[in-house]
Structure 1
Amino acid sequence: MVQHADEGTQPTRGRYWRLARRFAAASVVATAVSQVVFVAAYALGAAPAAATALAWLAGAVPNFALNRRTWGGGGRDALRGELLRYGLISVGTAVLAALATSGAEHLARSAFADQEAAQVVVVWAAFVGTYAVMFVVKFFLIDRLVFTARRPPRPR
């Protein structure tokens, strides 16, 4: 376990709840942005993988900034490493979502051949489902791997 500058050897339960609440809030912002971009891009004719990539990019930028603020990034010196580690986790999630949405599109076209709205809903559900599962996984990956060089807490 990585020891952080603002904690002892064991993380406190309160710290995790505070991080989880702020992580959830950042995820709500990123999800709202990415959902709008995904549905708009896919409904306008983008392939599922392209719509996913656009949605990922639209949500990843505010998500990184908000999560870095939540965890207290390690300052300018740590930024490059944090971006790289966050990017790998985020791109991995986007690849999983692209695979899920492409598979869902194939199934939706078979099941709803002449119902474009139903196809959009099925593909969108795959997109949301992937990110819902990854929400939990990403929380722990971000906590343990991304923001490891914590700044000391600011006095309040």
Structure 2
Amino acid sequence: MGCVSTVTATAPKPPQPHAGQPRFIARLVRAGASSVLATAASQVTLIGLLWWGASPTAASAVAFVAGAIPNWFVARRWAWGRKGKPDVKRELMPYLVVIGLGAAASVGLTTLAGMITEPLEISGFTRIVVLDVAYLSSYAIVFAFKFALLDRLVYRGGNVQVAASR
């Protein structure tokens, strides 16, 4: 009894649109988790600065940067699967524009809340809570918009690894 061996040729799979990049739901969950970590860093900074008497504008601006820096590294690597040195023109600059819009919303809402609380003579812990709610509200409002822009514009095209030296 002879064995028949068959060999079948398999066509190579076409490249996926986001090869090397986590699937959409994974990216969304990971970006959300990264955002939660960034928000925690921002919250500690914001509350601390407000407690020490900083203006709402200065406190929210510094707090935003305190969260944005770690978020860049965590989200870029974990949510979008990016490694290596980022391309300044195609990745870093668009990222800065997107988060700049988020920063404007955070600082703007916190500054507005500060302007509203002054004439109402809301002070101390209550004022910090009101300013913090305004700051957090901007994060909630901006997250979906920011994720969509990052996912579709900044990090489109999959896992691009740029060489460390040029």
Please say whether Structure 1 and Structure 2 have the same fold, judged by a TM-score greater than 0.5. Answer: yes
Mapping of 1:92-107 within 5 angstroms? 92-107=101-116
Aligned counterparts of 1:5 and 1:36: Cα–Cα separation in 2? 35
Structure 2 counterpart of 1:81: 90
Q: Deviations over 1:112-133 (max 9, x none)?
A: x153211111111100000111
Misfit runs of 4+, over 3 Å: none
Q: 2:58 aligns with which of 50, 75, 92?
A: 50
Q: 1:4 aligns with which of 3, 11, 17?
A: 17
1:145 corresponds to 2:158: no
Aligned counterparts of 1:30 and 1:77: Cα–Cα separation in 2? 20
Aligned-pair identity in percent equals 34
Give me the TM-score of the superposition, normalised by structure 1.
0.82
The alpha carbon displacement at 1:150 in A equals 2.1
Kindly name which structure, 1 or 2, has the bigger radius of gyration based on alpha carbons: 2
Aligned letter for 1:29?
L
- CA contact under 8 A between 2:86 and 2:92: conserved in structure 1? no
The alpha carbon displacement at 1:62 in A equals 1.1
Q: Deviations over 1:91-142 (max 9, x none)?
A: 111111111111101212233x153211111111100000111111111011
Q: 2:32 aligns with which of 24, 32, 46?
A: 24
Aligned letter for 1:30?
A
Structure 1 runs not aligned, ≥5 long: 8-13
Q: CA RMSD in A?
A: 2.2
Structure 1 counterpart of 2:144: 136
Aligned letter for 2:26?
R
SS at match of 2:118: helix
Aligned counterparts of 1:61 and 1:138: Cα–Cα separation in 2? 15
